[in-house]
Amino acid sequence: MKILFVGDITGTCGMDKATQELGRLKRQYGADLVIVNGENAAERNGITEKQFRDLRFAGADVVTLGNHAWANQEIYNFIDREDAIIRPLNYPAGTPGKGYTIVDMGRVQVAVVNLLGNVFVSSLPSPFTMIDDLLKDLKQQGVRHIIIDLHAEATSEKIAFANYVDGRAGAVLGTHTHVQTADACVLPKGTAYISDVGMTGAVHSVLGVKTELSVQQFVTQIPVRFQHAEGEAKLCAVVVELDDKTGMAKSILPIQV
């Protein structure tokens, strides 16, 4: 089984790039399942209902979120009635939406999990303490194919977490820092890993933000209201191949378009 995972969609040009490329990439790499992180799609982060539906129409089977899950108020209108969009599992009981979803692929079921890191990004319960019970429940349900979007800042936290679940999940794919890292690998017990998949957004930007605004904040040390950059866009993704029987990874391939 092959899974195409597309990194943080950022701004209008990122949305345009993703909707243009998803179908082609799915065909090119023979992907059975497409997952997209969409938490920065809207103008001031978050995601709108139209953007969610556009991604679904373009071929996304699951849309994951992150620390900006609630940035756009529209999310409250549809997150509870859509199985194909998930927010971080770390949020307490009663929070709208859910932290994972199970996609029935016929021959197998695939669980897609969204988690938020702690270091420099949140004070929610640790992803380490959140994952054990879920993995146990999924195992009892017979779900062996598990993909985790770990939305986190610190590389050390991501690597440690991946090793913590090595052999218990098919892939731990880092998001949030918007720069594709050069450490894609399959860990010793069979979990595919990359510290950050990268972003889908403006090539000429600072992590998807207008360059001049980001530079201004660093120079003046005064907070600036960021805006997404536009123009030429790139798409960052990975293709993970999982063993049909075990759910463990056979390979992971980074992609930039």
Q: Which are the catalytic amino acids?
A: 68
Residue 95 CB burial class (10 angstroms; 0-12, 13-18, ≥19): middle
Q: Which of 177, 152, 203 is nearest to 14 (CA)?
A: 203
Please answer whether residues 22 and 34 qualify as being in contact, where contact means their C-beta atoms are separated by less than 8 angstroms.
Answer: yes
Please answer whether residues 97 and 83 qualify as being in contact, where contact means their C-beta atoms are separated by less than 8 angstroms.
Answer: no
C-alpha pair distances (Å), 98 with each of 46, 73, 78, 79, 92 = 16, 17, 12, 8, 10
